[in-house]
Amino acid sequence: MTSEEELQQTVADFKETFSSERGTRVLAKLARYCLSESPIFVPDNVNQTMYNLGAHATYRYIMHFVNFDWDKHKPIRVIS
């Protein structure tokens, strides 16, 4: 499987998983749990801030694939 095919499969998997009624409910719960709309920084508590950053990054990763737009995707060729 090429990297482009793997990306296509990943995008399809995320879109299918989170576009159903149940998937939408799960995504809403993840949004709250992963602080998608809440402050991440906790003054004087670096450990909590780091934990919050990890949770937030997880949600952003999921949303990257859920909202992936093939029209904006430009394959990059690497010359080896």
Tens-digit pLDDT profile for residues 25-61: 999 999 999 999 999 999 999 999 999 999 999 999 9
In a domain, 42, yes or no: yes
In a domain, 79, yes or no: no
Q: What is the mean pLDDT of residues 1-10?
A: 90
Angstrom CA distances, 14 to 1, 7, 55, 75, 76, stand at 18, 11, 18, 20, 22
- Asked if pLDDT for residue 10 goes beyond 90, the answer is yes
Output the average pLDDT for the chain: 91
Which domain, by its residues, includes 15?
A: 3-66
Contacts 24+ apart (CB under 8 A), 36-45: 36/60, 36/63
In a domain, 31, yes or no: yes
Q: How far, in Å, CA of 34 to CA of 56, rounded?
A: 5
In a domain, 34, yes or no: yes
Report the predicted TM-score, pTM, of the whole model to 2 decimal places.
Answer: 0.82
In a domain, 77, yes or no: no
In a domain, 23, yes or no: yes
- Asked if pLDDT for residue 73 goes beyond 80, the answer is no
Could you give the number of structural domains in the chain? 1
